Amino acid sequence: MSGERLLTITDLSVSFGGLDALSHLDFHVDEGEIVSVIGPNGAGKTTFFNMISGMVTPSSGDILFKGESLLGLDPNQVTARGIARTFQNVRLFANMTILENVMVAQHCRTKQGIFGSLFNTRAFRDEEREIQEHGEKVLGFFGTRLTGYRLHQTASVLSYANRRRLEIARAMATKPQLLLLDEPVAGMNPVESVELTKLIGQLRSEWGFTIVMIEHDMGVVRDVSDRVVVLDHGETIAQGSFEDVSTDPNVVEAYLGRPVEEKS
Amino acid sequence: MSESLVSPPRSAFDQDWRKVVRFGLILAAALLFVSLTDMPDKLDRKIVIEQYLSMGYLVLLWLPLALGGLVTREVVLEGMASHAKGAREVVAGAAVGLIGGLGLSGLIWLLDTRDLSDPLVNWNDDLLEILTFGQSVGTGALYWVLISVSLGAMGGLAQVVPAAVRRSVMASIVAVILVAALEAALDDISEGFRLEWLFDLMFAKRGGLTVAGVVIVIVVAVGYSLIGRIKTAEVKERYDALKGAERQKANTGLLLLTAAAVVILPMFLGKLTNELLANVGLFLLLALGLNIVVGLAGILDLGYVAFFAVGGYTTAILTSPSSPAFSPELPWIVAVIIVVFMACIAGLFIGAPVIRMRGDYLAIVTLGFGEIIRLTVRSDWASGLTGGAQGITSIPGAQIFGLTEVRGINPQAVFYLVAFFCAIAIYMSWRLERSRLGRAWMAVREDESVAEAMGVNTVNVKLMAFVVGAILAAFSGAIFAAKVGSVFETSFKVLVSIVILVVVIVGGMGRIAGVIAGAVVLIGVLGGPNQPGLLAEFSEFKLLIYGALLVWMMLKRPEGLVPNARRSRELHQDEFLQDAWLKGEIDDDDGSTVEGEVAPA
């Protein structure tokens, strides 16, 4: 399944005033892979995503995407290169409509400016139509929940689970190659988690996205990942298949703590 | 439906006395405050009803009426029991009036016995004279107590009588005051429509409504509140029910109607009204520009007047023969093209350093930049170009293709020119809001970091907002220069920025109709920072009223006069969500509520 190397991270460190959020991290994703990043709270998972998407600047190390370094790029430039993300604490444009949310995400793939919109040129109308069609297409991925009469409702009326879905749709709308999902099933009930797990599989098989996912729900991680990377205190403590990782003593220790007798 | 929940009226003395006393003290404080601002004295010359009532007394009299009514107003939640109204409301209103009246009597007594004119500049015999109705101190004080008590009781009574009666009385009072206040404008308008006979019938020679005039106004107001209101509501309902193509047709019709009115009406209006409309237009143009910057892109720019100044000074330098440094004496139209160019440069120049800041920081820095531009223009260093404190004078009017010369002595032409540019600005706002750029602006306003992460180049997008706003403001400045015929740095003080912002906020941020409403109400009725409005008598108290209006709006209606649906949702999120929930619009999502979706595995 895996193809070329898409993302390579070497020796990446970041510290927030004395605290090493990530230290000497090595990581890679091949095209077509689904990689899960797990780890206890505060392990540095979200910082890891923020770093890839350009929201935090690493203090050392390098991030290569398709062979080019992402260091020093603004988040919008990273998105333009083909990396899109969702947020752990759903951050939609709550007062824009559902359709507008996915339309604005295509900003970096489109180019019509003031002139086109003022004179309503053919190019402008064509582009608007394309943006809208692509927007409806990504929303259609989640069935009819986000389409139809909902298209013109504001994102604020959506249920929690649907907000998560809309966030994924918004990331999909940026036409990325690599999708970073930050806890996609957090707050969903078991039925919804199972459904979303299936959809994550489809994101790869039908849409061709490579996916890196932070997730706490081990069922989802087991079902969907090709590879699991475990972070703790900003360091990689294990990686490999879910089975390997879940029995790794380091991982068990990170999650559950050391057995009592060894502590002394 | 809540009739069964109304319990019998409470006894007249079963009061929430704390609340009554609180309102009474508020009333007393308000009466003292209004008296000491010298409004009664200054506005005494403005007659409302011939021989009976002047505006000076009116600014005091409305207070007991309003507070006497408000003291017993209570919010009844759905499903909660409410008490029937009765004598209790009247007693509460009277009690509030009594406390307020006693407060004012105290002031009268103090005015008579003490001299506090040192800190309180309006503490003088003129005020005492007005407050005592020219009678002795004791009589004046007694009158005020009686007036205040009866007005307070009437306010309370208004809560008791049926709604239709209350509405009619309210409409009559408001209409009489409004018509009287607009006397000068009506005089002006009546000439255009050949209605001088009606004007002469309604207004006395020396100002103020005649008794006949009052009767006419009351008849019209009561008629409207009983019949017209219902009709208006019906029309609105029918309009709201329209869908798709029909709605669009109705909108187009309305737009054409408005356009026709804008073109035809000024021909019937006199100089004074046209002058007012021209001022409204100038500020509307500024407000539309600021609406893009603040309303759409969410950039709080407090130095917006800088771009107005750029437009004004560029035009002045390029067209005036007495421009100090060089005077190409270009025609106005050519100058405007260069003004656009200069506005772009100014937008980029001011925008570039401040645009990376957010929120409060950005507001403070733009505030500073606005003043820097003005002080630079005034400085000795730049006076070679801008004339320093002497400004640039003898700016010729704007020649529009040899058709007409637009200048201050011909306010009708100024209005048409301004209306043309406002139409452009409205079209621009309307198109841009529904474009890729408009969506990006909204995303930046909603959450800048997320917009950035979703591929929006926030720096570019915000600069664009700055530049578009700058161009519109500069247009306004160019027309302003041609209209007034001179530019001085004092016309571009920070107060102008504030007033424009207030227009946008009071009108309704992010909504074109709202901005128009704000400009008409604030600039048209109250007047701009240096321009008189319809209520020219109030111009001294303009800023006080601006402030009071702004505070009241922020408390009671933060979304503005004509709200943007989005923004009012933002501000009333909780109520809105509750309504949506009641209507079943919010999905109680369990993954299987919507038909036709992916079946859960």
Summarize pLDDT for B52-73 with one digit per residue, the tens: 888 888 889 999 999 988 888 8
- Report chain B residues whose CB lies below 8 A from the CB of A158: 586-587
List of chain A residues whose C-beta atoms are within 8 Å of the C-beta of residue B454 = 76, 79, 84, 104-105, 107, 170-171, 174
pLDDT tops 60 at residue B3: no
AA identity, residue B261:
A
Q: Please give, rounded to a whole number of angstroms, the shortest distance from the CA of B589 to a CA of chain A.
A: 6
Helices (H) and strands (E) in chain B, counts: 26, 6
CB A171 within 8 A of CB A86: yes
- Low-confidence stretches of chain A (pLDDT < 70) are 1-2, 259-264
Helix (H) / strand (E) containing B82: strand B82-83
Do A76 and B443 count as a contact with CB atoms less than 8 A apart? no
Name residues 149-208 of chain A within 8 A of B (Cβ).
Answer: 153-154, 156-162, 170-171, 174, 188-189, 191-192, 194-195, 198-199
Which residue in B432, B454, B597 is closest to A104 by CB distance?
B454
Question: Exposed, middle or buried: residue B244 (CB in 10 Å: 0-12, 13-18, 19+)?
Answer: exposed
Residues of A in contact with B600 (CB under 8 A): 191-192, 194-195
Where residue B587 falls among pLDDT bands split at 50, 70, 90? low
Look at A114 and B436 and tell me if their CB atoms are within 8 Å: no
- Per the DSSP assignment, residues forming a β-bridge with A8 are A28, A64
pTM to 2 decimal places: 0.86
Q: Which ipTM did the prediction report?
A: 0.92
Contact B442 A117 (CB under 8 A): no
Judged by CB atoms within 8 Å, which residues 452-491 of B form the interface with A?
A: 452-458, 464, 468
Choice among A118-122, B113-117, B292-296 with the minimum mean pLDDT: B113-117
Closest to B209 (Cα-Cα) out of B52, B40, B42: B52
- Percent of chain B exceeding pLDDT 70 equals 92
- Decide: A78 and A52 in contact? Cβ < 8 Å: yes
* Beta carbons of A224 and A35 less than 8 angstroms apart: no
Residue A29, strand partner residues: A7
> Using 50, 70 and 90 to split pLDDT, how confident is the model at B565?
low
List C-alpha distances in Å: B437 to A79, A107, A116. Answer: 18, 8, 10
Q: Which of residues 222-251 of A touch B (CB under 8 A)?
A: none
Residue B243 has pLDDT above 80, yes or no: no
Angstrom distances, CA of residue B247 to CA of A150, B234, B255, B434 = 20, 16, 12, 18
pLDDT in tens, B464-519: 999 999 999 999 999 999 999 999 988 899 999 999 999 998 888 888 888 999 99
Residue of B133, B49, B141 whose CA lies nearest to B98: B141
Q: Which residues of B touch A192 (CB under 8 A)?
A: 589-591, 600
List residues bridging with A240 in a β-sheet: A228
Among the partner-chain residues B455, B590, B600, the one whose CB lies closest to the CB of A76 is B455
SS3 state of residue B424: helix
For residues B238-267, average pLDDT:
84
What does the pLDDT read at residue B524?
85
Question: Per residue in B9-51, pLDDT tens?
Answer: 777 777 888 999 999 999 999 999 999 888 888 888 888 887 7
Nearest CA in chain B to A106: B455
User: Is B600 close to A194, i.e. CB distance below 8 A?
Assistant: yes
- Chain B hits for A199, Cβ within 8 Å: 598
Query: Which element (helix H / strand E) includes B406?
Result: strand B404-406
Question: Could you give the C-alpha distances from A8 to A62, B48, B103, B226, in angstroms and in order?
Answer: 8, 81, 79, 76
Using CA atoms, how far residue B431 sits from A95, A121, B139, B427, B463, in Å, is 19, 12, 65, 6, 18
Q: Kindly tell me if the per-residue pLDDT of B408 is higher than 60.
A: yes
Going by C-alpha positions, the residue among B429, B437, B446, B468 that lies closest to residue A127 is B437
Distance from CA of A2 to the nearest CA of B (A): 26
Comparing A43-52, B234-243, B441-450, which segment has the lowest mean pLDDT? Answer: B234-243
Question: In one letter, which amino acid is B190?
Answer: S
B432 and A107 within 8 Å at the Cβ level: the answer is no
Per-position DSSP letters for chain A, written without gaps between them: ---SEEEEEEEEEEEETTEEEEEEEEEEEETT-EEEEE-STTSSHHHHHHHHTTSS--SEEEEEETTEE-TT--HHHHHHHTEEE--SS----TTSBHHHHHHHTTGGG----HHHHHHT-HHHHHHHHHHHHHHHHHHHTTTTTTSGGGGGSBGGGS-HHHHHHHHHHHHHHT--SEEEEESTTTT--HHHHHHHHHHHHHHHHTT--EEEEE---HHHHHHH-SEEEEEETTEEEEEE-HHHHHH-HHHHHHHH---HHHH-
Report the run of H or E that residue B283 belongs to, with start and end: helix B271-290
**Cα–Cα distance for residue pair A145/A164, rounded to 1 Å:** 12
List CB contacts (< 8 A) between B458 and chain A. 76
pLDDT exceeds 50 at position B227: yes
* Min Cα–Cα distance to chain B from A191, Å: 6
Measured between beta carbons, the chain B residues lying within 8 angstroms of A106 are 455
A241 CB neighbour count, 10 Å cutoff: 12
pLDDT digits (tens, 9 = 90+) for B186-204: 888 887 777 888 888 888 8
Out of A105, A161, A195, closest to residue B454 by CB = A105
Write down the pLDDT at residue B573: 65
Q: Do B590 and A189 touch (CB under 8 A)?
A: yes
Please list every residue in chain A whose beta carbon sits closer than 8 Å to the beta carbon of residue B297.
Answer: none
CB B440 to CB A107 under 8 A? yes
Interchain proximity A144–B573, CB inside 8 Å: no
> A with B: how many residue pairs have Cβ under 8 Å apart?
159
A144–B595 CB contact, under 8 Å: yes
The whole-angstrom distance between B459's CA and the closest CA on chain A is 10
Query: What is the b/e burial string over A28-58, where b = at least 16 CB atoms within 10 angstroms of the residue's CB?
Result: ebbbbbbbbbbbeeebbbbbbbbbbbbbbeb
**What average pLDDT does the segment B86-113 reach?**
90
Tell me phi and psi for residue B505, to 5 degrees.
Answer: -70, -45
Q: What are A31-90's pLDDT values in tens digits?
A: 999 999 998 888 888 899 999 999 988 888 999 999 899 998 999 999 999 999 999 989
Identify which of A91, A215, A247, A112 has the alpha carbon closest to the alpha carbon of residue A156.
Answer: A91
CA distance A263 to chain B (A): 44
Name the residue of chain A whose CA is nearest to B465's CA: A114
CB B443 within 8 A of CB B450: yes
Q: Sorting pLDDT into bands at 50, 70 and 90, what band is B419?
A: very high
Residues of B (410-439) whose Cβ lies below 8 Å from A: 427-428, 431-432, 434-439
The pLDDT assigned to B578 comes to 67
CA–CA separation, B458 and B451 (whole Å): 7
Q: What is the mean pLDDT of residues B565-581?
A: 65
| Residue B1 clears pLDDT 80, i.e. is over it | no
